[in-house]
Amino acid sequence: MSGPDQSNSAVSIEHLTVSYQTKPVLVDISLEVPRGTVVGILGPNGAGKSTIIKSIMGFVPRDFGSVRIFNEPVDDACGLVAYVPQRGQIDWNFPVTVRDVVMMGRYGHRRWYQSMRALDRAKASEALESVRMSEFMDRQIGQLSGGQQQRVFMARALAQESEILLLDEPFAGVDAATERAIAGLLAQAKEQNKTVIVVHHDLETAAEFFDAVVLLNRRLYAYGPPREVLDQGLLAEVYGGKLRNLSWRQEEAT
Amino acid sequence: MSMWLYDLLIEPWTHAYFIKAALGGSIIAVACAVLGCYIILRKMAFIGDAMSHALLPGVGIGYLVMNALFPGGFTAGGLLLGALIAAVLTSLCISFLSNAGRIAEDTAIGIIYTGLFAAGVVILTRFQQHINIDLNHFFQGDIYGIAWSDLWLGAAVASVVLAVIIIFYRHLTIVSFDPTMAASIGLPTHFIHILLTVMIALICVAGISMVGVIMIVGLLITPAALAYLLTDRLPHMMIWAAVMGVLSVVLGLYFSEWVNASGGGSIMFVGFLLFIVGLILAPRYGLLAAWLRRRRIVPQADIEDVLKLAYEGCCQLSDMAMGVVRATKAARQMVGEELLDPTSLRQGSILLTDKGRQEAAHIMRSHQLWEGHLIQAGMTAQAAHEAAEALEHLHHREVLVDFAAELEHPVLDVDGRPIPPADSSG
């Protein structure tokens, strides 16, 4: 094994190649995410960001390569990762309350014939408390602000008690206050030594949220500390010609 | 008078056929309504429609096979089994076809269900003399003609459906709400989808003999849709749907007695009317409630106009250009938002609170910066002033920061009046 310290590895991807029909979506991706880090996955549309998330959950057929969660093959490691979906994937009119959603985080802990126990309810309340959403327990989820909704799903992930959290575009389309709230949640998860993997779209904010950044466009272009990865030359290569606007904004900001 | 009421409401219950219809219909309606909640939440209504029609060949073949094996008896089992096989086959064919290439899912549904239904019609008409199923019966059902065996079959199927929903409530809910998360904790999402499909098929077979294939789809969808307008808790939705389903059956049967019309048709017609009433009157999600809400909303632009006029020294509501009615409505809202002083408003004058003054200054600044920007962009002063009246409401902080930079941080506006400084609190 060539990776750095195996015992400390939360997610370990080796030579992962995934395709839809004949079109490759991910080509020969290898990376190690150490326990307790917050990693951002960046790349243009269609770069395979969601596919890599799905691979870590173990339900994408691989053409080649392996994904290991705490050194277990991902196919045996069901339930070790907690998933926070993209806002757009949720039907906000669905008749469930905040409490119902967070309790879903406990479903994986009980067999189908077992009912939820006091322990599950306690864990759910605790998770809601930790994101300061207890007072909204009985609200239908559509009647919350965007930031509160994001916190509810974060609470669900915490109630799952998984060591790895996967967040799909949590910062997409949120206002500045919500952005701060989510960043706070990431920091909080890191304090608890959770490993957090975030699909992210905004290059400008990446440096302040993540310990490490993955730059992806079907191939793995770079993986490392944000300052090194978010190098203008490399970004231009990954994003093609679409980067002019960004550099203009950065010049103006300085 | 009391005799008349008796004839209208009590007399029907003295007939066994009416009691059987009410009982059978209610049993099916409850199971349909509860199952229907998942159908509408998963946006599967069209699949339910397709499924019910596609049962026909299964029912026909099942009947033929059972008749060949046990001549003259025990066809109900064959019907059920055939219908189940047809339902699962339909579901598999639809998902295969919609994943196979260019064909989208709704197209696939349309192709598969008409194709299978046509196969059923061919089988039924070809083997007419062997199959005791009337096509007209398949469409309309015969709720007044149900036999005790139909009733028992309905009760058995409804119990199974309700039991499955109670046992798998968590799984059905999470797979409907967040399938990706459900899969990530290892739930068999595909199996749960098939389970739902099978239950739709079961309830259709049990219900078609009573209300027919189209009305059974109505019983699946309409009461659940009505319940969806009444509540936003899933367990409450299921209970409401069941109540509305039974109400449709009982009121529908009364209606069919009174006007002497088909039972199945009357049931669904009443169900439809109930839905329309609910659509209009539902307390939170009804049309009336939405209309009232919209009426109560004061346009933000009105509030901002009042703010600006008050800031500029206009202090009587009756002086507002928008008219005293709109101004009064806006002013009331503004008292609630602590922008206006409530005591002075009672005397008909407007006095800004500190918070109000701050907001007003922000709007003023927006107006003046927009004006400056538009003139810089080449508009005449008059045109810029008029445009700024509309554009001042786009006063996002970033826009103003950009304009202020572009105009090199002006202190006076184009008319030489002071521009309020940028609001530090945002």
Q: What ipTM does the predicted assembly reach?
A: 0.86
Quick one: pLDDT band at residue A40, thresholds 50, 70, 90? Answer: very high
Segments of chain B assigned to CATH 1.10.3470.10? 13-222
Q: Is the pLDDT of residue A236 over 80?
A: no
Cβ neighbours of residue B286 closer than 8 Å, sequence gap 6 or more: B229, B278, B279, B280
According to the model, what pLDDT value does residue A4 have? Answer: 46
A170 and A74 within one domain: yes
Three-state secondary-structure class, residue B349: strand
Comparing B96-100, B113-117, B187-191, B235-239, the range with the smallest average pLDDT is B96-100
β-sheet bridge partners, residue A26: A18
Among the candidates A139, A161, A183, a domain finishes at: A161
Please write the tens of the pLDDT for every residue from B252-274: 999 999 999 989 999 999 999 99
Domain count, chain A: 2
The stretch A57-86 carries a mean pLDDT of 86
Q: Is the pLDDT of residue B135 over 70?
A: yes
According to the model, what pLDDT value does residue A242 have? Answer: 56
A168 and A253 within one domain: yes
Among the candidates A130, A161, A192, a domain finishes at: A161
Domain-embedded: residue A240: yes
Quick one: pLDDT band at residue A248, thresholds 50, 70, 90? Answer: very low
According to the model, what pLDDT value does residue A135 have? Answer: 93
A142 and A183 within one domain: no
Q: Is the pLDDT of residue B92 over 90?
A: no
Domain-embedded: residue A26: yes
Q: How far apart are CA A98 and CA A144, in angstroms?
A: 9
The stretch A239-251 carries a mean pLDDT of 52
CB contact under 8 A, A89 and B177: no
Highest mean pLDDT among A103-107, A185-189, B1-5: A103-107
Segments of chain B assigned to CATH 1.10.10.10? 361-426
CB contact under 8 A, A107 and B187: yes
Preferred mutation among A56, A90, A94, A110 to probe B, highest tally of B CBs within 10 A: A94
Q: Is B405 on the interface with A (CB under 8 A)?
A: no
Class in CATH terms, B361-426: mainly alpha
Domain-embedded: residue A149: yes
Among the candidates A133, A161, A189, a domain finishes at: A161
A188 and A142 within one domain: no
CB contact under 8 A, B183 and A59: yes
Q: Is the pLDDT of residue A113 over 50?
A: yes
CB contact under 8 A, B184 and A57: yes
According to the model, what pLDDT value does residue A2 have? Answer: 42
According to the model, what pLDDT value does residue A249 have? Answer: 43
* Longest CA–CA separation in chain B, Å: 102
A73 and A43 within one domain: yes
A115 and A52 within one domain: no
A141 and A17 within one domain: no
The stretch B313-341 carries a mean pLDDT of 80
Q: Which residues of A touch B (CB under 8 A)?
A: 54, 57-59, 78-79, 81-83, 85, 89-91, 93-97, 100-101, 104, 107-108, 112-113, 116, 140, 142, 156, 160
According to the model, what pLDDT value does residue A3 have? Answer: 44
According to the model, what pLDDT value does residue A6 have? Answer: 52
According to the model, what pLDDT value does residue B316 have? Answer: 76
Q: How far apart are CA B316 and CA B337, in angstroms?
A: 19
* Residue in B with minimal Cα distance to A142: B232
Q: Is the pLDDT of residue B241 over 50?
A: yes
| Mean pLDDT score across all residues of chain A | 85
A67 and A170 within one domain: yes
Quick one: pLDDT band at residue A111, thresholds 50, 70, 90? Answer: confident
Q: Is the pLDDT of residue A1 over 70?
A: no
Q: Is the pLDDT of residue B291 over 50?
A: yes
> What is the per-residue DSSP string for B113-153?
HHHHHHHHHHHHHHTTTT----HHHHHH--GGG--HHHHHH
The stretch B14-26 carries a mean pLDDT of 93
A183 and A139 within one domain: no
A239 Cα to chain B: minimum distance (Å): 26
Q: How far apart are CA A49 and CA A45, in angstroms?
A: 8
CB contact under 8 A, A85 and B168: no
| Mean pLDDT score across all residues of chain B | 87
Please write the tens of the pLDDT for every residue from B29-68: 999 999 999 999 998 888 888 888 888 888 888 888 887 8
Q: Is the pLDDT of residue B205 over 70?
A: yes
A71 and A181 within one domain: yes
Contact list in B for residue A85 (CB cut-off 8 A) is 178, 180-181
Contact list in A for residue B233 (CB cut-off 8 A) is 95-97, 140
Q: Is the pLDDT of residue A5 over 90?
A: no
The residue that leads in pLDDT, B74 or B63, is B63
> What tokens appear for A62 in the block?
């691989």
CB nearest A83 (choices: B167, B173, B184): B184
Quick one: pLDDT band at residue B75, thresholds 50, 70, 90? Answer: low
Quick one: pLDDT band at residue A250, thresholds 50, 70, 90? Answer: very low
The CATH-assigned architecture of domain B13-222 is Orthogonal Bundle (1.10)
- Contact (Cβ atoms closer than 8 angstroms) between residue B44 and residue B176: no
CB nearest A104 (choices: B174, B183, B237): B174
CB contact under 8 A, B178 and A85: yes
> What is the per-residue DSSP string for chain A?
--SS-GGGEEEEEEEEEEEETTEEEEEEEEEEEETT-EEEEE--TTSSHHHHHHHHHT-S--SEEEEEETTEEGGG-TTSEEEE--GGGS-TTSS-BHHHHHHHHHHTTS-TTSPP-HHHHHHHHHHHHHTT-GGGTTSBGGGS-HHHHHHHHHHHHHHTT-SEEEEESTTTT--HHHHHHHHHHHHHHHHTT-EEEEE---HHHHHHH-SEEEEEESEEEEEE-HHHHS-HHHHHHHHGGGGHHHHHHHHHH-
A137 Cα to chain B: minimum distance (Å): 13
Domain-embedded: residue A85: no
The stretch A55-80 carries a mean pLDDT of 85
Quick one: pLDDT band at residue B72, thresholds 50, 70, 90? Answer: low
A173 and A156 within one domain: no
CB nearest A89 (choices: B180, B185, B232): B180
> What tokens appear for B82 in the block?
């055939």
A131 and A145 within one domain: yes
According to the model, what pLDDT value does residue B236 have? Answer: 97
* Residue in A with minimal Cα distance to B236: A95
Torsion angles phi and psi, residue B183, rounded to 5: -65, -35
Q: Is the pLDDT of residue B1 over 90?
A: no
According to the model, what pLDDT value does residue B423 have? Answer: 63
Q: Is B232 on the interface with A (CB under 8 A)?
A: yes
The order of strands in the sheet holding A72-73 is A23-34, A9-20, A64-69, A72-73
Angle (CA) A82 A84 A88, round 5°: 155
Q: How far apart are CA B178 and CA A90, in angstroms?
A: 7
CB nearest B237 (choices: A91, A95, A107): A95
Three-state secondary-structure class, residue B298: coil
Q: Is the pLDDT of residue B243 over 90?
A: yes
The continuous run of DSSP H or E covering B177 comes out as helix B169-177
* Residue in B with minimal Cα distance to A167: B181
Q: Is the pLDDT of residue B172 over 90?
A: yes
Give Cα separations from B56 to B67, B75, B81, B110 (angstroms).
16, 15, 12, 15
**Domain span including residue A9:** 1-80+163-254
B41 Cα to chain A: minimum distance (Å): 7
